[in-house]
Amino acid sequence: MSQPEFVSKLPPSASPLERVMEQIFFEEIALIERDIKDFLDPYKCRADLLPYLAWEMSVDDWDENWDEITKRDVIAAAIEIHIYKGTRYALDKSIESIRQDGLSVTEWFEDKAKLRPGFFRVNLQARNSDIDENTVPQIFKAVNNAKNTRSHLESISITSQVSNPVKNSVLSRMGMIVRSGPWRTENITSSVNSNNVCFMRLGMIIRSGALPLEIT
């Protein structure tokens, strides 16, 4: 990067000491001015300043463990999520910004046989992101931050499908029923269909609150 040309910004009444100090710190001041110009752009802002930009944009949930692209996407979506907060669109945007996955929402009046009045369930189609132990808390936070106040989350189900060029495919389905209280995972079932078929069943218990999670 070329050295910026020094131009004094002090008034004529500035003392000799002030002028010397201005020249000493000129490079640092020039960097500050450059960074300020790009600070409000989530895709141009310096990486180490992203947490401050997230605060500026009122991002509801921030994770320092996210990769840089995810952090920038979350910041970029923050204003739109706040504008439409309480709608299905806000739920979709909040999940899309952190996982790039699709989300479908079913409200109680769309499935009165299985949902109580005022409750809803969500189904995440995990097409582009991995599923691990952090997935459920991450989705739970995002949904609760974007939903309307009157509605209550009944359950989260996560469906993922992975395929490869040799036509072998892996399909896993995870259904999670969330109640307010500690979490408990009942079981996880995974299956693989190809020339060789393998089925695996894994039992898992996670305790951290009062919510039972049933995964099938």
Confidence band (pLDDT; 50, 70, 90) for 35?
A: low
d(CA 170, CA 166): 12
Flag whether pLDDT at 176 surpasses 70: no
| 8 Å CB contact between 95 and 139 | yes
What pLDDT is attached to residue 216? 47
Mean pLDDT of the region 117-146? 83
Flag whether pLDDT at 146 surpasses 60: yes
* 169-177 vs 212-213, strand pairing mode: unpaired
Q: How many CB atoms lie within 10 A of CB 120?
A: 23
Q: Which residue has the higher pLDDT, 31 or 175?
A: 31
User: 103: left (phi > 0), else alpha (psi -120 to 50), else beta?
Assistant: beta
> In angstroms, how far is the first alpha carbon of the chain from the final one?
56
What pLDDT is attached to residue 4? 63
Domain spans of the chain, in order of start: 14-83, 100-216
Confidence band (pLDDT; 50, 70, 90) for 1?
A: low
Q: Which residue has the higher pLDDT, 144 or 207?
A: 144
Q: Which of 18-27, 63-72, 196-205 has the highest mean predicted lDDT (pLDDT)?
A: 63-72
Calculate what percentage of the chain has a pLDDT beyond 90. Answer: 20
Q: Which residue has the higher pLDDT, 41 or 38?
A: 41
d(CA 146, CA 71): 17
d(CA 41, CA 49): 11
pTM: 0.60
- Exposed/middle/buried for 55, CB within 10 Å: 0-12, 13-18, 19+? exposed
What pLDDT is attached to residue 42? 93
Per residue in 72-113, pLDDT tens? 999 999 999 999 999 989 988 888 888 777 778 888 999 989
> Whole-number mean pLDDT of the chain?
76
Q: Which residue has the higher pLDDT, 11 or 2?
A: 11
Mean pLDDT of the region 57-61? 91
What pLDDT is attached to residue 9? 80
